[in-house]
Structure 1
Amino acid sequence: MKIAVMGAGAVGCYFGALLAKAGHELVMIGRAAHVEAMNARGLLLERAPAPSYVLVTASALPEAVAGAELVLVCVKSADTEAASKAMRAYLAPEAVIVSLQNGVGNAQGLAAVLGRPVLPAGVYLAAEMAGPGHVRHNGRGELVLGQGPGVEALAVLLREAAIPTTISADVEAVLWTKLVLNCAYNAISAMTQAPYGQIVAVAEVETLIRNVVAECEAVAAACGVSLPRGQAETVLAAAQGMAGQLSSTAQDLMRGRRTEIEYLNGHIVRLGVAQGIPTPVNQALLAVVKVLETRVGEA
């Protein structure tokens, strides 16, 4: 099958590499430096037990999605609308579109612009781009798909590529659960430039994380989202499988790029205002990361 990855960063490169290793034809659409490296020598997947190069095609142009039967959208949340418009004219009529993005509402945003169904997916992966065309796996790597056309066949395809995949009848709760995890860790990791394992090793951080989670739970409930019980314990335990991972927000700041903080803690803050629910801890994390973004912009 021909598969296109729109937004070939850490998430797209990791899952794209596994799909290519399973024999699929992969086209990776991303930044020029990554495109040049992948076309020159392949995509370097650094993963136990040993690193390996994977043969893919790479392009910086959105029209490279043409002819793909499956399109994995992995762009930043802020780029959802622009990416949708850029690739809309080139999508094959039968292509299955999947959103592998942080935050909630991205699949709906894609569908609104594309005028076709988009499958939402919860992504649980610790990975980073360690250099041009070089993705490093730091832990986990499973997907949770929402219901929609073609989802059963897609789940089989992903599992055959050694990607643990489940289908959820309530993907909104899954996406919110991932949002809570990101709200708890991303900003703290960005502010401290520390990986998850180092963060939770500090005793005082547990209270901070519990307060973040409590605000997220209150906002979710007000929005009619039913989260699984024990969110705080789930979030704290998640660090064990991603101990060496710097958050994507921390990685963005390191590379001088804008972060997705407005779609993480910022999303909780905005919904809290709309619902009349105070979110002071999420507000504080949002504010500090935005200050750090300003400093990066001045560098």
Structure 2
Amino acid sequence: MKPLYPSIAICGIGSVTVTIIHAFHQNNVPFKVLCKDLTRLEWLQKNPIQFQGPNGKTTTIRLTNHLLLLSDTKKTYDYIILGCKNQILPEYVNITKQYLKPEGKWILIQNGLPEGQFFSLKNQIIGGVVGWNTQTLEDGSYFQSNHGSLVLGESNKNKLEPFWKTYLEPWISVVLTEDLLGYRWHKLGINSIINGLAASKQMSLGELFLKKSGRMEAIQILSEIKHIMQKLNIKEQVVPGSFPIQKLGDGDGALPLWLRHLILFFLGIKYFKIRTSMVQDLDQKRKTEINFINGEVVRVAKENGILVPANETVVEKVLRIETSF
């Protein structure tokens, strides 16, 4: 007997959602892709996805039987995964709400603290903290550089159904948590250096972390975030495969400074050529999510009377680059 799957839709195709689609494809999990416009739907019909996983194997994924034009959709879904940037997340919530079942839930896989944008909808939202890196290559194919994980949780700390592990593993490791905020702040700290700081300098991770000055700036950024978390009594939950920012930032629990530099140095070697998503945005003269990464740190800091000059500098630099487009 075939398993009875809840109905799942994905709105917004990008490197993160393509990685989830790959896992669904490998596990024969049914899903639909809701396209906002006909041009995008027709392009996806004609162009199968080429996805290379961390094992080096390339999989061809044909979405033809999964595609629906949003305006033609008649069905409602138990879960809708939103794969868009933070800037347009409210728009995506609004245009998909009629396709969500009364007891259904959106899954927000954006960086930062996206659940905070929808306090009145918190009982309908699952947060997804992404722990892998997938890049779009020049030929349009996708490359997932590390195995990674997906941390799923709700702001109201409800327990989630365990079926997500069956749907995504072993291609994506799944962590079901009742402490979503702890994972969100950990990932926010990591993103503030690998995305925000790297974007402010328009550097690959190797170019950034092999320089002492880059490592020192990263440690200062993490120290400011660590201070915010301590003041707000947020206990860090480390995304699998990552490293605690409590040990990298200054203050209680910090590793010796030389060891922190060494960790960042080896991170630069391991991912020497990686230009993370916000760096790629600037490469392509696109607006970034800086206001939802280091900008989120600055916002929370101001609300709580905390000084975060290193994070403010990153935001200012990235916004200055964007104004030159």
TM-score between both structures, scaled by the size of structure 1 = 0.85
**Cα offsets for 1:161-190 (capped at 9, x unmatched):** 521111223221111000000111212322
Whether contact under 8 Å (1:111, 1:117) holds in the other structure is: no
Whether contact under 8 Å (2:11, 2:81) holds in the other structure is: yes
Distance in 2 (CA, whole Å) between partners of 1:27 and 1:52 is 19
Which has the larger helix fraction? 1
In the other structure, the counterpart of 1:191 is 200
**Cα offsets for 1:12-64 (capped at 9, x unmatched):** 11111221222123333467676444311322112332322112234563765
Whether contact under 8 Å (2:13, 2:83) holds in the other structure is: yes
In the other structure, the counterpart of 2:29 is 24
Distance in 1 (CA, whole Å) between partners of 2:18 and 2:85 is 14
Distance in 1 (CA, whole Å) between partners of 2:40 and 2:135 is 13
Q: Supply the AA of the counterpart residue of 2:181.
A: E
| Aligned ranges 1:33-112 → 2 under 5 Å | 35-47=41-53, 48-56=55-63, 57-58=66-67, 61=70, 66-104=75-113, 106-110=114-118, 112=120
In the other structure, the counterpart of 1:269 is 298
Structure 2: gaps of 5 or more residues: 237-243, 250-259
Distance in 1 (CA, whole Å) between partners of 2:225 and 2:14 is 27
Distance in 1 (CA, whole Å) between partners of 2:177 and 2:271 is 23
Distance in 2 (CA, whole Å) between partners of 1:132 and 1:60 is 26
Whether contact under 8 Å (1:119, 1:148) holds in the other structure is: no
**Largest Rg, 1 or 2:** 2
Distance in 1 (CA, whole Å) between partners of 2:77 and 2:141 is 23
Whether contact under 8 Å (2:147, 2:171) holds in the other structure is: no
Residue 271 of structure 1 deviates from its aligned partner by 1.6
**Cα offsets for 1:197-216 (capped at 9, x unmatched):** 33211122221111000111
In the other structure, the counterpart of 2:256 is none
Structure 1 residues 243 and 16 mapped into 2: Cα distance closer, same or farther (>3 Å)?
Answer: farther
Whether contact under 8 Å (1:6, 1:62) holds in the other structure is: no
| CA-based RMSD | 2.8
In the other structure, the counterpart of 2:178 is 169
Whether contact under 8 Å (2:10, 2:32) holds in the other structure is: yes
4+ long deviations beyond 6 Å: none
TM-score between both structures, scaled by the size of structure 2 = 0.79
Residue 95 of structure 1 deviates from its aligned partner by 3.7
**Cα offsets for 1:124-159 (capped at 9, x unmatched):** 111122368632212243111225354322233222
The share of aligned pairs that are identical, in percent, is 19
Distance in 2 (CA, whole Å) between partners of 1:211 and 1:244 is 23
Q: Secondary structure at the match of 2:175?
A: strand
Residue 123 of structure 1 deviates from its aligned partner by 0.8
Structure 1: gaps of 5 or more residues: none
Alignment length (residue pairs):
293
Q: Which of these residues, 164, 168, 171, is aligned with residue 158 of structure 1?
A: 168
